[in-house]
C-alpha cells in the first residue's frame, strides 16, 4: 500500500509538471502557425499590389460615410480570396485568415468604448453590412463575392465610419476606399506601396480583431484590439510588416495614434525611430 501511494504521488507530481509544459508547447506551436499565416497573408497583399499597379489592398470598399444594406463592405479578406492571392473560407480552423487561437465567437466592430474586450479573441465574416448599431454578413455575387471569408486578423487601415471625419490620405498602411467626403471634401483613395517610407517597420497586419481605435492597441490598454491571443509573461504580439516579413514584438512596442489619452508627443515617440510604426511616412505625419 505504501509503495502504491508513493507511485501515485510521483505520477501526480509528474502530471503537475508536465501539464503546464504541454500547454506552453501547444501555445508556442499555435503562435508559430499564426506568424506563418500573417507572412502568407502579407505575401498575398504584395502579390495583389503587383497585379494592381502598386495598390495596397483596401481594408474594404465603401461609398459615403456610413454602411447600410445598400452600401455593404467587401473586406480585404474576400478581396484577396476573390483574386486568387490567398484562398480563405468561413471556417474557424485551417483558414489562413484565422489565428489558431481564435475563439468561436462572432465579434462586432466599431462599437467604440462599449466594445467588449473579448472581441479581440473572435472573428468576423466578410463581406458584411456594418453600421453603428450592428453588423451582419452576406455574399455579394454581383461584385464577385460568392462566399463568406472568416477573418480574425487586423489590418492597419484608416477606417472612419458614421460621420464625415477628417483623414490624411495614405497616412496608414491602407484604408476604407471610397469613404467621404470628409470635412475637407476628400474621398479616401487607394494607398500605394510607393508611399511607404519604412516597409520593414510599417505594421501591415497583426493578430487581433479590429474594432476601431488605433490609440488603444496594446495588451492591457482599455478596449485593446490587438494582442490578446498571444499574451504571456512578455505580452508578445504577432505582426506582419509591409516588406513581407513576420515576427513578434512586445505589446509595449505596439505603437498608437494620437487620440484620447495618447498625446501627440507619446505617439511621435512610439511611431518614429527604429521601432515599428503605424504610419506609411511617420516623419511627414508628425512634422506636418
Q: Contact 95/88 with Cβ under 8 angstroms?
A: yes
Contacts of 265 (CB under 8 A, 6+ apart): none
CA-atom Rg of the chain in angstroms: 21
132-184 per-position pLDDT tens digit: 677 889 999 999 999 999 999 999 999 888 888 889 999 999 999 999 998 88
Query: Is 60 exceeded by the pLDDT of residue 36?
Result: yes
| pLDDT for residue 255 | 93
- Taking the alpha carbons of 170, 257, 180, 207 in that order, is the dihedral positive or negative? positive
Q: Mean of the pLDDT values across residues 1-15?
A: 63
Per-residue pLDDT for 7 more than 60? no
CA dihedral sign of residues 166, 58, 177, 105 = negative
**Interval 70-128: pLDDT, tens:** 899 999 999 999 999 999 999 999 999 999 999 898 887 665 556 666 777 889 999 99
pLDDT value of residue 67: 85
Q: Could you list the residue range(s) of the whole structural domain that residue 275 is in?
A: 37-287
Are 253 and 261 in contact by the 8 Å Cβ rule? The answer is no
Q: Is residue 1 part of a domain?
A: no
Residue 8 lies in a domain: no
Q: Please give the span between the terminal C-alpha atoms of the chain, in angstroms, as a whole number.
A: 80
Q: Which residue do the cell numbers 508547447 mark?
A: 25
Task: Tally the domains of the chain.
Answer: 1
Whether residue 26 is contained in a domain is answered as: no
Burial (0-12, 13-18, 19+ Cβ within 10 Å), 103: middle
The answer to whether residue 19 is domain-embedded is no
Is residue 3, in this structure, part of any structural domain at all? no
Distance CA 256, CA 279 (A): 10
Report yes or no on 239 lying in a domain: yes
Residue 4 lies in a domain: no
Which pLDDT belongs to residue 219?
76
Inside any domain, residue 214: yes
d(CA 283, CA 273): 9
Amino acid at each position: 500500500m505504501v509503495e502504491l501511494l508513493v507511485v501515485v504521488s510521483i505520477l501526480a507530481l509528474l502530471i503537475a509538471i508536465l501539464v503546464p509544459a504541454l500547454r506552453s508547447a501547444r501555445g508556442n506551436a499555435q503562435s508559430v502557425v499564426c506568424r506563418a499565416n500573417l507572412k502568407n497573408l502579407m505575401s498575398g497583399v504584395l502579390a495583389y499590389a503587383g497585379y494592381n499597379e502598386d495598390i495596397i489592398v483596401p481594408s474594404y470598399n465603401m461609398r459615403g460615410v456610413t454602411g447600410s444594406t445598400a452600401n455593404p463592405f467587401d473586406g480585404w479578406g474576400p478581396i484577396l480570396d476573390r483574386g486568387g492571392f490567398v484562398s480563405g473560407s468561413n471556417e474557424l480552423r485551417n483558414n489562413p485568415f484565422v489565428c489558431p487561437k481564435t475563439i468561436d465567437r462572432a465579434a462586432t466592430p466599431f462599437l467604440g468604448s462599449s466594445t467588449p474586450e473579448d472581441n479581440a479573441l473572435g472573428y468576423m465574416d466578410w463581406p458584411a453590412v456594418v453600421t453603428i448599431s450592428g453588423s451582419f454578413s452576406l455574399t455579394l455575387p454581383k461584385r464577385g463575392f460568392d462566399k463568406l471569408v472568416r477573418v480574425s486578423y487586423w489590418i492597419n487601415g484608416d477606417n472612419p465610419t458614421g460621420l464625415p471625419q477628417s483623414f490624411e490620405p495614405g497616412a496608414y498602411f491602407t484604408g476604407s476606399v471610397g469613404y467621404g467626403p470628409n470635412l475637407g471634401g476628400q474621398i479616401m483613395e487607394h494607398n500605394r506601396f510607393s508611399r511607404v517610407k519604412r516597409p520593414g517597420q510599417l505594421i501591415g497586419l497583426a493578430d487581433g480583431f479590429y474594432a476601431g481605435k488605433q490609440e488603444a492597441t496594446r495588451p492591457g490598454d482599455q478596449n485593446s484590439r490587438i494582442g490578446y491571443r498571444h499574451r504571456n509573461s512578455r505580452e508578445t504580439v504577432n505582426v506582419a510588416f509591409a516588406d513581407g516579413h513576420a515576427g513578434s514584438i512586445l505589446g509595449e512596442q505596439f505603437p498608437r495614434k494620437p487620440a484620447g489619452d495618447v498625446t501627440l508627443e507619446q505617439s511621435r515617440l512610439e511611431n518614429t525611430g527604429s521601432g515599428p510604426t503605424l504610419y506609411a511616412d511617420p516623419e511627414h505625419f508628425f512634422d506636418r
